[in-house]
Structure 1
């Protein structure tokens, strides 16, 4: 059995989840900013994971195919991109604020702190699950080497 595939799958999952944590932290850090250093308002970001392959085989076909479909399966690992979310800004009534509009409202980014915290916690748990899967594959590989070395 080739354990590098298991390691690659876990690593790809950890990359996606680390990116989700980073983006959630970025959104939370900028939740109360009015404008950035470039003068533009901050737009909340979202992580999008996409498969790079057109692999249409069913799970049964992949299992029955064994290692013959392994290169195709490795191409199906997700790629991660960060895109700006299309969220309406949060309008807060602060008439004394220097960036208030004519009606006294200040436009803050449309960051929902509860959603970002839940996203961060779920990404952390998914990252931990990927670490556990990688450790299990490593343990199995070491045990296989021990068995093979003892024979």
Structure 2
């Protein structure tokens, strides 16, 4: 029975990590047109308890993508220099969409694993009641 609860814990940690990743993706998409904005990336770390790897994951520190920002020519923009250029963001919408899709599918896989473990524990409890 403890293995089933362990599976529930592992899958819920995966769902929490992917939800955090999706939050960063949505922030990136929302700030795609913000001058000087740098793309945020989420990393994952294994959870270690008592010196042992548990199999669970957690979100690591947020990192800023070091890809150079785009130079945008718009002489009328308030942030434009004398040459008419200003620093745009380094967010690529297609990359963000792909990251969002990957996070969604990973979340769904963890949700399915959680649901399977829940169904198995329910079935086990029903068998024990008889």
With the length of structure 2 as denominator, give the TM-score of the two structures: 0.89
Whose radius of gyration is greater, 1 or 2? 1
Runs of 4+ residues deviating >3 angstroms: none
Instruction: Tell me the residue number matched to 1:11.
Output: 12
Q: How does 1:1-151 map to 2 (within 5 A)?
A: 1-2=1-2, 3-34=4-35, 41-53=36-48, 72-74=52-54, 76-81=55-60, 82-150=62-130
Instruction: Tell me the residue number matched to 1:67.
Output: none
SS in 1 for 2:43: strand
Q: CA deviation at 1:73?
A: 4.3
Are the aligned partners of 2:16 and 2:58 in contact in 1 as well (CA < 8 Å)? no
Deviates more, 1:108-117 or 1:93-102: 93-102
Whole-angstrom CA distance in 2 between matches of 1:46 and 1:24: 8
Structure 1 alignment gaps of length 5 or more: 35-40, 55-70
Q: CA deviation at 1:52?
A: 4.0
Whole-angstrom CA distance in 2 between matches of 1:135 and 1:78: 18
With the length of structure 1 as denominator, give the TM-score of the two structures: 0.78
Aligned length, in residue pairs? 127
SS in 2 for 1:32: coil
Structure 2 alignment gaps of length 5 or more: none
Alpha-carbon RMSD? 1.8
